[in-house]
Amino acid sequence: MPVLVVVGAQWGDEGKGKVTDLLCEEADVVVRYQGGNNAGHTVENAYGKFALHLVPSGIFHQHVLAIIGNGVVVDPTVLRKEIDELESRGVSTANLRVSAGAHLIMPYHILLDRVYEVRLGKGKIGTTGRGIGPAYADKAARQGVRMQDVLDPHTFREQVKAFMAAKAEVLVKAYDQDVGHLEEECERYIEAAESLRPYIDDTALLLWNALRREERVLLEGAQGTMLDLDHGTYPYVTSSNPVAGYACVGSGIGPMELSEVWGVTKAYTTRVGEGPFPTELTGEEGDYLREVGQEFGTTTGRPRRCGWLDLVVLRHAARINGLTGLCLTKLDVLDGLDAIKVCTAYRYQGEEIREMPPSQAVFAKVEPVYEELPGWKTDISGITSARDLPNETIDFLNFVVRNVRVPISLISLGPRREQHIKVPHPDHVQRASDGRQA
Ligand code: GDP
Ligand code: IMO
Ligand code: MG
């Protein structure tokens, strides 16, 4: 490790939860550094199957300190429920800490999120409706409430009520909304937030001390590079910065502390919500990926849009995040295909472009340029060593490495923790016939 960032390289849902749960076997600290309960990170291990929205996916390792960083926006009712569920299923949260600097999502944020979407009509973002955008907007506008405010219950209640009154006025006057239930809802949120008091800490200091002890730290991103507020497909993005650069801001460590950045990518592409998606498949091939890959949102249950792997997107993610490794997930989903297409470039007005166009208007109109690779037509989900993979699978992996110029450090071939291969020669995945020990 010692400080590894795990970041989504596509439009989210790449399998970051699974990868984090797995890699935390070798970590001492895990930190979620941005996003909120728009995230849904699925983990399947000896405790069962979990969909985590706020708690870091390393929580299942009792020796790991699990931190919700200052860059996260916390819906206190969701966190309360998540903690209770984990505890009831035998997973201790004694090692969980929440940054005193993390902002809180309040009921008026959720209401505003939904109102904005309705107002946008056909131009809607397709948000998760969890209040993420309005909560980050209030943070930037310096009108947010934070976890630390909970420590002074009287002032906290006053603060929430004052912000609520201001928002209610806008909701009624500008958007003609019924806000009758808002006060009661805020009361429920205040109670939930107060119940989280034992978890609040100066997490940047905890991290600093861990780093001085040379402990291994994993920084777990939510969403993905293409949903990044600055580097994604704006305005069809989330309201935080999932990219690796923000891992420092959202956890409170210096940039020189980072040692590795691993980008998680599926062997194909998915997207939830609106916005451009050049390799999207709307016919049978898309249905195949959705059914076999079980591509339905962890948070909202929405069917995910599916398409071929896009290497222009991955090259963009490699640059923006400074990727030092790739974790390629859901390779098993391609098992049944005769041929696999991979997008290597785009075509726009007759010209081929290999890098992400700087204009979103152009990105919305590009056509994918594909190369077709042979499928392997074998069940690979039980394979545990790279040398046992079919030659076609190895060729597919090396094609990705050559085109993205980032080594594949980890392959995932099923949802369960044990279904993975740590690649011993990530720059060029070896065939058994290459003669070298894989
Ligand atoms: P995250 O948001 O990046 O953590 O990803 P999600 O949990 O939202 O979506 C990934 C889905 O794929 C989950 O249902 C995982 O259980 C599942 N998954 C992860 N890795 C693999 C894999 O290698 N193969 C298969 N078949 N499923 C996987
Ligand atoms: P994980 O961490 C996939 C998408 C939403 C919408 C856009 C904005 O599980 O990968 P928001 O509610 O954030 O304002 O919605 O971002 N989105 C995600 N898509 N995975 C996620 O998280 C997502 N979180 C938000 O669908 O298009
Ligand atoms: Mg997800």
**CATH (domain of 415):** 3.90.170.10
Residue 208 and residue 178 share a domain: no
Which of 18, 289, 412 has most ligand 1 atoms within 8 Å of its beta carbon, as the pocket-test mutant?
18
pLDDT bin (cut points 50, 70, 90) of residue 427 is confident
230 is catalytic: no
Distance 245 CA to ligand 3 centre (A): 20
Residue 186 and residue 284 share a domain: no
For ligand 1, whether the C-beta of 10 sits within 6 Å is no
Q: What is the mean pLDDT of residues 286-294?
A: 97
Residue 189 and residue 212 share a domain: no
In a domain, residue 38? The reply is yes
Residue 156 and residue 44 share a domain: no
Please give the number of the atom of ligand 1 that sits closest to the Cα of 298. 8
Structure tokens at 280: 């999207």
Q: What is the mean pLDDT of residues 154-170?
A: 96
Report how far residue 306's alpha carbon sits from residue 277's, in angstroms, rounded to the nearest whole number.
9
Residue 414 and residue 309 share a domain: yes
Please give the number of the atom of ligand 2 that sits closest to the Cα of 13. 10
In a domain, residue 251? The reply is yes
**CATH (domain of 189):** 1.10.300.10
- Which class for 32: exposed (0-12), middle (13-18), buried (19 or more C-beta within 10 A)? buried
Residue 223 and residue 76 share a domain: yes
Residue 153: which domain range?
Answer: 103-195
28 is catalytic: no
pLDDT bin (cut points 50, 70, 90) of residue 437 is very low
In a domain, residue 427? The reply is no
Q: What is the mean pLDDT of residues 83-107?
A: 98
**Active-site option among 41, 61, 103, 316:** 41
- The protein residues having their C-beta less than 5 angstroms from ligand 3 (an ion) are 13, 40, 298
> DSSP 3-state assignment of 146?
strand
Report how far residue 208's alpha carbon sits from residue 204's, in angstroms, rounded to the nearest whole number.
6
Residue 45 and residue 56 share a domain: yes
In a domain, residue 433? The reply is no
Name the domain boundary from 262, 287, 305.
Answer: 262
Proximal ligand: closest to the CA of 114: 2
Within 8 A by CB and 6+ apart from 404, the residues are: 311, 314, 315, 318, 326
Structure tokens at 255: 């940039």
Q: What is the average pLDDT score of the chain?
A: 96
In a domain, residue 429? The reply is no
Measured by CA distance, the residue closest to atom 9 of ligand 1 is 13
Q: Could you tell me what percent of the chain has a pLDDT over 70?
A: 99
Q: Of how many residues is the chain composed?
A: 438
Please give the number of the atom of ligand 1 that sits closest to the Cα of 18. 19
> DSSP 3-state assignment of 398?
helix
For ligand 2, whether the C-beta of 273 sits within 6 Å is yes
C-beta separation of 21 from 40 below 8 A: no
Residue 249 and residue 292 share a domain: no
Q: What's the total number of domains in the chain? A: 3
DSSP strands (E only) in 75-230: 96-99, 103-104, 200-201, 217-220
Proximal ligand: closest to the CA of 126: 2
pLDDT per position as a tens digit, 317-343: 999 999 999 999 999 999 999 999 999
Please give the number of the atom of ligand 2 that sits closest to the Cα of 12. 10
In a domain, residue 186? The reply is yes
Name the domain boundary from 237, 262, 287.
Answer: 262
For ligand 1, whether the C-beta of 412 sits within 6 Å is yes
Q: What is the mean pLDDT of residues 137-156?
A: 97
Residue 211 and residue 162 share a domain: no
Residue 21 has pLDDT above 50, yes or no: yes
Which of 53, 329, 331, 419 has most ligand 1 atoms within 8 Å of its beta carbon, as the pocket-test mutant?
329
Which of 10, 34, 38 has most ligand 2 atoms within 8 Å of its beta carbon, as the pocket-test mutant?
38
**CATH (domain of 218):** 3.40.440.10
Distance 224 CA to ligand 2 centre (A): 8
Residue 124 and residue 63 share a domain: no
pLDDT per position as a tens digit, 409-423: 999 999 999 999 999
Residue 123 and residue 66 share a domain: no
C-beta separation of 82 from 53 below 8 A: yes
pTM of the model: 0.97
Q: What is the mean pLDDT of residues 193-207?
A: 98
Q: What is the mean pLDDT of residues 229-233?
A: 98
Residue 350 has pLDDT above 50, yes or no: yes
In a domain, residue 289? The reply is yes
In a domain, residue 250? The reply is yes
* Predicted local confidence at residue 127, as pLDDT: 97
Residue 89 and residue 137 share a domain: no
